[in-house]
């Protein structure tokens, strides 16, 4: 009897010797998870509340930095300037145009090889200082050349900046905001009214690989075009169109017209890019009762 009791006590003592301590493991695990979450919040702003591009001042700061960090080229009225990119790693370029307050009228073309123009557009802006032209065009499979022709008179020069677009550049910022897409059939149009708090609008136009023919208009009042872009792209999937349209004032309406036949639909994403004012606007800037 004494031998059995002693054997039972020894067995219990040996079993307890192999039980792992619980508190230190739980404490180290909790500390590791706490450090991990803190590092993620510091790096990517988890829970910061929306994209930084959507906050007040985001667009103006980004575009102002581009103009400040670049050397604009003056394109006199009736003249042509070209920018060549021989590096095939450059898949898209930023095209920014402005004036000193005079009208802006220009042709922008992408040349790839002899007599090959896969992308071209006609740009008109009533006031090139109040509403600068900001776009990103695709340049896959270089070398590529961007040509800008000022088709205005000699009294209407313009400043141009053409430079490669980084992975976190304008195209990425536009894509992070303009997330909703809708189909515009050939010959149809869509209108997007915006309230006065919206300072700029992000636009993305693309297709499923077919040619893209479109007309983008910024209206302020009845039949009052403040900015017009006539766009052609050989392949709307390989070379989508990204743009930021500045919309100061009230009564701004963006109109997108698919000028192609019915066999060539396009996909349009139009959303508010920068909302002005000091308030935290919960809506997306689109006015209720959007007309189609």
User: Looking at residues 107-125, what average pLDDT do you find?
Assistant: 94
- Judge whether 171 and 246 are in contact, CB under 8 Å: no
What pLDDT does residue 287 have?
Answer: 52
Q: Could you give phi then psi for residue 9, rounded to 5 degrees?
A: -65, -40
Given pLDDT bands bounded at 50, 70 and 90, which one contains residue 246?
A: very high
DSSP 250: S
Q: Using pLDDT thresholds of 50, 70 and 90, give the confidence band for residue 65.
A: confident
Is 228 in a helix, a strand, or coil? Answer: strand
Query: pLDDT class for 252, splitting at 50, 70, 90?
Result: very high
User: Does residue 44 have a pLDDT over 90?
Assistant: no
When comparing pLDDT for 25 and 89, which is higher? Answer: 89
Give yes or no for residue 118 having a pLDDT over 50.
yes
Q: What is the rounded average pLDDT of the residues 89-97?
A: 93
pLDDT at position 36, please? Answer: 29
Confidence category of residue 124, pLDDT binned at 50, 70, 90 = very high
- Whether the per-residue pLDDT at 90 is higher than 70: the answer is yes
Query: In the numeric block, which tokens belong to residue 86?
Result: 């021989």
pLDDT band, residue 132 (cuts 50/70/90): very high
Environment class of 30 (CB within 10 Å of its CB; exposed 0-12, middle 13-18, buried 19+): exposed
Q: What band does 285 get if pLDDT is binned at 50, 70 and 90?
A: low
Query: 57 Cβ partners below 8 Å, 6+ apart?
Result: 274
What band does 64 get if pLDDT is binned at 50, 70 and 90?
confident
For residue 66, what pLDDT is reported? 79
Tokens of 215: 């007309």
CA separation for the pair 225, 219 (Å, rounded): 5
pLDDT at position 289: 42
């Amino acid at each position: 009897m004494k031998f059995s009791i002693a054997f039972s006590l020894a067995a219990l003592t040996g079993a307890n010797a192999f039980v792992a301590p619980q508190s230190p493991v739980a404490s180290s695990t909790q500390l590791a998870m706490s450090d991990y979450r803190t590092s993620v919040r510091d790096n990517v702003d988890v829970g910061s509340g929306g994209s930084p591009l959507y906050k007040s001042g985001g667009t103006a700061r980004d575009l102002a930095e581009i103009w400040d960090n670049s050397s604009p080229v003056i394109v006199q009225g009736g003249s042509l300037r070209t920018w060549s990119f021989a590096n095939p790693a450059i898949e898209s370029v930023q095209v920014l145009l402005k004036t000193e307050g005079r009208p802006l009228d220009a042709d922008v073309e992408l040349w790839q090889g002899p007599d090959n123009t896969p992308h071209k557009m006609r740009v008109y802006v009533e006031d090139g200082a109040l509403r600068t032209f900001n776009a990103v065009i695709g340049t896959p499979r270089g070398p590529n050349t961007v040509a800008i022709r000022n088709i205005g008179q000699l009294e209407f020069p313009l400043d141009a900046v053409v430079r490669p677009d980084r992975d976190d550049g304008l195209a990425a910022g536009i894509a992070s905001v303009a997330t909703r897409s809708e189909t515009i059939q050939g010959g149809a149009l869509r209108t997007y009214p915006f309230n006065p708090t919206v300072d700029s609008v992000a636009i993305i136009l693309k297709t499923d690989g077919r040619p893209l023919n479109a007309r983008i208009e910024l209206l302020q009042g009845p039949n009052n075009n403040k900015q017009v872009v006539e766009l052609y792209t050989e392949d709307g999937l390989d070379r989508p169109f990204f743009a930021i349209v500045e919309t100061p004032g009230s009564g701004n309406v963006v109109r997108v017209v698919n000028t192609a036949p019915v066999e060539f639909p396009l996909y349009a994403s139009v959303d508010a890019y920068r909302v002005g004012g000091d308030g935290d606007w919960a809506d997306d800037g689109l006015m209720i009762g959007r007309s189609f």
